[in-house]
Amino acid sequence: MNIEIRLLKDDEKNEVIRLFNLTHPQQRSLEHFHWEFRDAPAGKGIYVVAYDIDAKKIVGTQAAIPVEMVSNNGERMLTAKSEDTLLDPAYRGKGLFDKMYQLLFDECRKQGIKYIWGFTYANKPFLKVGFEIPYKATSGLYVINPISSYNYLSKLNLQNKFMDKFKIFGLCWMGYFTSMNAGLFATKSSDNLSLTENLSFDRSKVIAAIGQTFKEKIWTINLTNEYINWRFRNNPHSNKFSFFGVKKNENIVGDIILNKRKEGFGYIEQLFLSDEITDTDQQVLINQAIKNLKSQDSFLIRFLGFDFNKANKSQIDSLKKCGFTFIDRGASFVWKRLTDVESEFINPNELLMSRSYSQGDV
In a domain, 341, yes or no: no
In a domain, 346, yes or no: no
270 and 211 part of one domain = yes
Under DSSP, the state recorded for 305 is: E
162 and 120 part of one domain = no
pLDDT, tens only, 312-342: 999 999 999 999 999 988 899 999 999 999 9
In a domain, 343, yes or no: no
Q: How many CB atoms lie within 10 A of CB 56?
A: 7
In a domain, 42, yes or no: yes
Return the pLDDT at 360.
Answer: 59
* pLDDT of 117 higher than 70: yes
Burial class of residue 236 in the structure, from the number of CB atoms within 10 Å of its CB (0-12 exposed, 13-18 middle, 19+ buried): middle
Q: Which residues contact 151 (CB under 8 A, 6 or more apart)?
A: none
Out of 109, 131, 153, a domain closes at 131
* pLDDT of 186 higher than 70: no
Tell me the C-alpha distance between 256 and 267, whole Å. 11
| 30-37 vs 13-23: helix crossing angle, rounded to 10 | 100
* pLDDT of 187 higher than 70: no
User: Under a CB-based contact definition with an 8 Å cutoff, are residues 100 and 48 in contact?
Assistant: yes
Q: Which residues contact 132 (CB under 8 A, 6 or more apart)?
A: 334, 335, 336, 348
pLDDT, tens only, 30-89: 999 999 999 999 999 999 999 999 999 999 999 999 999 999 889 999 999 999 999 999
232 and 167 part of one domain = yes
Under DSSP, the state recorded for 142 is: E
88 and 237 part of one domain = no
Range of the domain at 75: 3-131
Q: What is the dihedral of CA 214, 215, 220, 226, to 10 degrees?
A: 90
Tell me the C-alpha distance between 19 and 51, whole Å. 12
Under DSSP, the state recorded for 351 is: B
Tell me the C-alpha distance between 71 and 218, whole Å. 6
223 and 317 part of one domain = yes
**DSSP track, 163-178:** HHHHHHHHHHHHHHHH
> Which residue type does 299 have?
F
Q: Which residues contact 247 (CB under 8 A, 6 or more apart)?
A: 193, 194, 196, 253
Return the pLDDT at 246.
Answer: 86
In a domain, 228, yes or no: yes
Return the pLDDT at 362.
Answer: 43
Q: What are phi and psi of 18, to 5 degrees?
A: -60, -45
pLDDT, tens only, 212-256: 766 778 999 999 989 999 999 898 887 899 999 888 777 788 899
Return the pLDDT at 99.
Answer: 96
Burial class of residue 6 in the structure, from the number of CB atoms within 10 Å of its CB (0-12 exposed, 13-18 middle, 19+ buried): exposed
> pTM for this structure?
0.91
311 and 215 part of one domain = yes
Out of 131, 156, 176, a domain closes at 131
* Cα 4 from chain centroid (whole Å): 32
Beta-ladder partners of 193:
248
150 and 126 part of one domain = no
In a domain, 181, yes or no: yes
In a domain, 146, yes or no: yes
> Which residue type does 166 have?
F
> Which residue type does 156 have?
L
111 and 150 part of one domain = no
Q: Which residues contact 197 (CB under 8 A, 6 or more apart)?
A: 242, 243, 244
**Cα–Cα nearest to 235, from 96, 46, 40:** 40
243 and 100 part of one domain = no
187 and 325 part of one domain = yes
Number of domains observed in the structure of the chain: 2
Out of 131, 164, 195, a domain closes at 131
> Which residue type does 144 have?
I
pLDDT, tens only, 123-145: 999 999 999 999 999 999 999 99
Cα 302 to Cα 165, 231, 270, 342, distances in angstroms: 18, 19, 11, 38
13 and 110 part of one domain = yes
Q: For the chain, give the percent of residues with pLDDT over 90.
A: 69
If pLDDT is split at 50, 70 and 90, which confidence band does 184 have?
A: low
20 and 105 part of one domain = yes
CATH number of the domain residue 186 falls in:
3.40.630.30
Q: What are phi and psi of 41, to 5 degrees?
A: -65, -25
In a domain, 27, yes or no: yes
Cα 98 to Cα 93, 105, 109, distances in angstroms: 10, 10, 17
